[in-house]
């Protein structure tokens, strides 16, 4: 019997599903349409988009490649999407670079591909390649804010820092820019001045940077202190979830690292990642995406999570690790905001080691303010909001320390940098690993570092960032300075 809708009808239905956020229905519509009209390149492209949204990364990549084979318009955009999947989700940086090269072979002036290539090189620790790639952008667009900011950031602490200060000041003064470009440049200027010890000028640059960054924040993403406080109250009042029917053993499975942003979580992950039995997972999305997609409103809907559902989710989580090539006995899952999802994590992996990073809260608050975060950290652009989030974090930290006593190891950044062997020994033991001296040996990691700390954590452990807030004490509001007493 003929399909009454025909391929066009199914594609129209798929487009409506995209607009309405009905991901799985959209996938089904496009798959049906493409079975009838397999040469529809736009259909393959949209299927790739939906599959990526549904976290079916291998299938999404295949759909995008099929769109290319079918002659999709704008193939450089498709190669860019493939590169993002390869790098962000499949842990394949060399394939990502190859995909970006394909995009640039089609259009050498395709700035998004050049900027993404620079980012990949940065996160892989390839400073020379990153610098040259950003220089390529600036040869085409001399005022590109992203390329200027990232190039300048790599000059922090070098002999070229002073030259970049003058360059960035001139760029901000004489060029009309978008808020995004102004933020990129002003954040970089602040870090350069901080490295030169010009703290008052640095603080003024960071104020300007955060003012520009706030303009990128959609109204629906704005930080509302009362709402966040309600979330923390719900988590504190949440009844404990029953343990899942099956669990990982103490010697395999994920290691969850969390805490405040900028509290040392990336450093802890890189230290553990030097162990031969540990793969660096970075900021994996599975846990927060699951909370958002399956347990909304969170955390109230967690009450519906039973042992069978937890087992299904655990299998899906481990499958994503395999898809990403994270095959070591243990893999780190380092998301600072996983502190909000410990009940879900514990239900899926009740024996997993939990590491909560902690740093002097005033230092942490200042470092958050100095970071060019996206909408995922909506409190990060305002010192009052950062102070409020910090106090709510401390409230939740104390609660989790009681609920998961013995399972959480609190790792203090200041102790780590002043007594690394002692602290690293406790970290390794907590994770059920045998001691390996490599954990204390600074080395260039083959794993990407996808955080604001991507250059700092590749250096030997140092104390330069401990008590950093004292350099800015004269400029900080009282509620931030008071955090030091927490």
pLDDT tens-place string over residues 271-304: 999 999 999 999 999 999 999 999 999 999 998 8
pLDDT at 356 exceeding the cut of 50 = yes
At 54, phi and psi to the nearest 5? -90, 10
pLDDT at 174 exceeding the cut of 50 = yes
Label residues 296-317 b or e (16+ Cβ within 10 Å = b).
eebbeebeebeeeebbebbeeb
pTM: 0.89
342 in Cβ contact with 354 (< 8 Å)? yes
Domains assigned to the chain: 6-158 (1.25.40.10), 227-485 (3.40.50.300)
Element (H, E) at 332: strand 330-334
pLDDT at 249: 44
Q: What is the mean pLDDT of residues 339-347?
A: 95
Q: Residue 410 forms beta bridges with which residues?
A: 356
pLDDT at 157 exceeding the cut of 90 = no
pLDDT at 447: 60
Dist. CA 187–CA 403, nearest whole Å: 39
- Rounded percentage of the chain residues whose pLDDT exceeds 90: 81
pLDDT at 224: 96
Q: How far is CA 47 from CA 59, 70, 77, 136, 152, in A?
A: 9, 13, 15, 33, 39
pLDDT at 63 exceeding the cut of 70 = yes
Ranked by mean pLDDT, which of 157-171, 194-208, 314-328 comes out on top?
Answer: 194-208
86 in Cβ contact with 56 (< 8 Å)? no
Q: Single out the residue of 352, 253, 242 nearest to residue 305, CA to CA.
A: 242
pLDDT at 243: 44
345 in Cβ contact with 287 (< 8 Å)? yes
Q: What is the mean pLDDT of residues 180-187?
A: 94
Q: How many CB atoms lie within 10 A of CB 62?
A: 16
pLDDT at 82: 98
pLDDT tens-place string over residues 118-138: 999 999 989 999 999 999 999
pLDDT at 176 exceeding the cut of 90 = no
CA 447 from chain center: how many Å? 14
Q: Which two tokens stand for residue 404?
A: 């998961």
Ramachandran region of residue 92, left (φ > 0), alpha (ψ -120 to 50) or beta? beta
* Rg of the chain (C-alpha set): 23
Dist. CA 282–CA 450, nearest whole Å: 7
Element (H, E) at 80: helix 75-84
Q: Residue 334 forms beta bridges with which residues?
A: 257
Label residues 65-97 b or e (16+ Cβ within 10 Å = b).
bbbbebebeebbbbbbbbbbbbbbbbbbbebbb
Please report which confidence band the pLDDT of residue 2 belongs to, taking 50, 70 and 90 as the band edges: low
DSSP-based helix, strand, coil % in the chain, nearest 5: 65, 5, 30
Element (H, E) at 412: strand 408-412
Q: What is the mean pLDDT of residues 6-34?
A: 95
Q: How many CB atoms lie within 10 A of CB 221?
A: 11
pLDDT at 144: 93
Q: Which residues are within 8 A (CB) of 258 and not within 5 positions of it... i.e. 6 or more apart?
A: 265, 334, 335, 336, 337, 338, 339, 342, 354, 355, 356, 357
Average pLDDT taken over every residue of the chain? 90
Q: Which two tokens stand for residue 393?
A: 């974090």
pLDDT at 392: 97
pLDDT at 448: 63
pLDDT at 248 exceeding the cut of 50 = no
pLDDT at 177 exceeding the cut of 90 = no
Dist. CA 436–CA 63, nearest whole Å: 43
Residue 442 CB-half CA count within 13 A: 10
pLDDT tens-place string over residues 48-61: 999 999 999 999 99
pLDDT tens-place string over residues 385-425: 999 999 999 999 999 999 998 889 999 999 998 899 999 99
pLDDT at 376: 86
Please report which confidence band the pLDDT of residue 246 belongs to, taking 50, 70 and 90 as the band edges: very low
pLDDT at 462 exceeding the cut of 90 = no
pLDDT at 241: 59
pLDDT at 465 exceeding the cut of 70 = no
pLDDT tens-place string over residues 66-117: 999 999 999 999 999 999 999 999 999 999 999 999 999 999 999 999 999 9
pLDDT at 55: 93
């Amino acid at each position: 019997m003929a399909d009454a809708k025909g391929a066009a009808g199914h594609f129209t239905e798929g487009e409506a599903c995209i607009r309405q956020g009905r991901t799985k229905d959209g996938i089904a519509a496009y798959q049906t349409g493409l079975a009838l009209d397999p040469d529809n390149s736009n259909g393959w492209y949209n299927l790739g988009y939906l599959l990526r949204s549904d976290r079916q990364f291998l299938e999404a990549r295949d759909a995008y490649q099929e769109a290319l084979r079918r002659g999709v318009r704008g193939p450089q955009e498709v190669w860019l999407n493939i590169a993002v999947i390869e790098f962000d989700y499949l842990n394949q940086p060399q394939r990502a670079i190859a995909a970006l090269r394909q995009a640039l072979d089609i259009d050498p002036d395709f700035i998004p591909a050049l900027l993404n290539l620079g980012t990949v090189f940065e996160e892989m620790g390839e400073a020379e390649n990153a610098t040259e790639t950003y220089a390529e952008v600036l040869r085409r667009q001399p005022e590109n804010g992203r390329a200027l900011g990232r190039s300048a950031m790599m000059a922090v602490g070098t002999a070229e820092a002073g030259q970049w200060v003058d360059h960035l000041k001139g760029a901000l003064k004489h060029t009309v820019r978008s808020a995004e470009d102004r933020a990129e440049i002003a954040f970089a200027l602040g870090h350069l001045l901080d490295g030169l010890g010009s703290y008052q000028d640095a603080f003024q640059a960071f104020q300007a940077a955060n003012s520009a960054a706030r303009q990128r924040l959609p109204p629906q993403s704005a930080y509302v202190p009362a709402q966040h406080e309600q979330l923390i109250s719900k988590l504190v009042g949440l009844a404990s979830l029953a343990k899942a029917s099956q669990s990982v053993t103490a010697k395999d499975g994920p290691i969850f690292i969390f805490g405040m942003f900028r509290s040392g979580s990336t450093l802890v992950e890189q230290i553990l990642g030097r162990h031969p039995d540990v793969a660096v997972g970075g900021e994996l999305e599975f846990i927060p995406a699951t909370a958002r997609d399956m347990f909304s409103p969170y955390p109230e809907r967690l009450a519906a999570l039973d042992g069978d559902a937890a087992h299904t989710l655990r299998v899906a989580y481990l499958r994503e690790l395999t898809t990403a090539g994270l095959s070591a006995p243990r893999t780190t899952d380092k998301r600072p905001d996983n502190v909000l999802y410990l009940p879900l994590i514990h239900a899926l992996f009740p024996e997993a080691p939990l590491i909560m990073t902690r740093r002097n809260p005033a230092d942490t608050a200042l470092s958050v303010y100095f970071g060019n975060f996206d909408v995922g950290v909506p409190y990060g652009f305002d010192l009052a909001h950062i102070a409020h989030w910090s106090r709510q974090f401390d409230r939740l930290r104390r609660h989790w320390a009681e609920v998961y006593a013995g399972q959480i190891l609190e790792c203090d950044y200041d102790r780590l940098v002043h007594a690394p062997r002692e602290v690293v020994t406790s970290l390794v033991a907590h994770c059920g690993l045998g001691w390996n001296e490599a954990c204390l040996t600074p080395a260039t990691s083959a794993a990407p570092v996808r955080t604001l700390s991507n250059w700092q954590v590749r250096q030997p452990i140092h104390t330069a960032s401990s008590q950093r807030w004292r350099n800015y004490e004269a400029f900080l509001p009282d509620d931030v300075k008071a955090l030091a007493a927490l």
